[in-house]
Amino acid sequence: MKQIVQTGPASVEVQEGERPSPGPAEVLVRVHTAGICGSDAHAYEYEGGYDWIAMPRIMGHEYSGTVEAVGEEVTSFDPGDRVVEEPIHNCGECFQCRNGEENICQNFSITGMHRDGAYAEYTVVDPEHLHAVPDAVSLADAAITEPMSIATRAVLTRSSVNPGDDVLVEGPGPIGVFTAAVADSLGANVLVSGLDQDATSRLPLVESLGIDTINISEADLETHANVRTDDVGFDAVFDASGHYTGVETGVEVVRKGGEVVVVGIPREPSEVLMTPVVRGEIDVISSYGSDWTNFEQALRLMENGAIDAEAVVDDSFSTADPTAAFEAFLNSEVVKPVFTFAAT
């Protein structure tokens, strides 16, 4: 089978590999579409925090596909079923898992990093990690369920956003765009901030979804926030920038009694002045990963048309040249590049 393999820092190759066979309790999935996310890009660069990944490694954890075959012990899925995988697998035994906090399992593992992933024509997975894709959702769109589930967790589980709230989302990368889309689906008044590097592709894509944007390389965010919220401040700020200044900026423009939800993971230390946080009773909250419910929420939002997944997915990249897709993503030229492995 065809597979995309990382062989070293910023080095990916298209190779021929042996098609896997499912064990008695496993499912063989024929991959249809697989996307690139921020963690894939960091792994591709093999930067600090990802340099533990053993090479060579078949990458990819965001994907959709069709069940090709099932092991003799599998009863929950049948050949022909359309599925997506929850790629962060919990251990089920640590304190967090037993406490209903599986998304922050102490001993988690990630498809495409701890084990070979879905940048291939076929992959094998345990059935408990699979979700059925609704008939109304195409497999091309379903491939973004995992990043969409991160957004549903941030907005629907971790925040207290309500219809009519003024919301800022910092960073128009995949998670930022999906977070904005989920908040918009609730009826919030959403603004997405970006930089000059986002002005060519990412901010225009957000605007095509009917969501307001601001390029803070050219306009002052605090001034804009005052005008937009009548000097009150945003009810909620979601920092999906992954930059160490994101939380600081969020605290500056959120209202007293508001909340800052940190979704992106900064790679540098942040210095947040706590005085306005305490005096303003501002909640600074983190949101990490997702759980089973968040996956189902993401699928339902796409099923009922509340989220236009097709507008975000870019399938123009070829599996024959995976480097081009990674470099386009890292250069902010595209929000969600995907590889298509199966035409039907």
Domain 2-147+290-340 in CATH 3.40.50.620? The answer is no
Q: Where are the domains of the chain?
A: 2-147+290-340, 160-286
Q: Is the pLDDT of residue 6 over 90?
A: yes
Q: What's the average model confidence in pLDDT over 55-63?
A: 96
- Please tell me what DSSP assigns to residue 20: P
Q: Is the pLDDT of residue 122 over 70?
A: yes
Q: What's the average model confidence in pLDDT over 298-310?
A: 95
Q: Are 330 and 41 in contact (CB under 8 A)?
A: yes
- Three-class SS state of 41: helix
- Which CATH number among 3.30.360.10, 3.40.50.150, 3.40.50.720, 3.40.50.12500 corresponds to the domain 160-286? 3.40.50.720
Q: Is the pLDDT of residue 71 over 70?
A: yes
Percent of the chain with pLDDT over 70: 99
**Six token digits for residue 52:** 């533990």
Q: What is the pLDDT of residues 11-56, one digit of tens each?
A: 999 999 999 999 999 999 999 999 998 889 999 999 878 889 999 9
Would you state the pLDDT for residue 342? Answer: 82
Would you state the pLDDT for residue 271? Answer: 84
Chain mean pLDDT for the chain: 95
Would you state the pLDDT for residue 266? Answer: 86
pTM to 2 decimals?
0.94
Would you state the pLDDT for residue 344? Answer: 45
Q: Are 183 and 155 in contact (CB under 8 A)?
A: yes
Q: What is the pLDDT of residues 195-242, one digit of tens each?
A: 999 999 999 999 999 999 999 999 999 999 999 999 999 999 999 999
Would you state the pLDDT for residue 343? Answer: 61
What is the rounded CA–CA span in Å between residue 193 and residue 232? 18
- Which amino acid, one-letter code, is at 298? A
Q: What's the average model confidence in pLDDT over 242-256?
A: 95
Would you state the pLDDT for residue 257? Answer: 98
What is the rounded CA–CA span in Å between residue 221 and residue 172? 15
Would you state the pLDDT for residue 338? Answer: 95
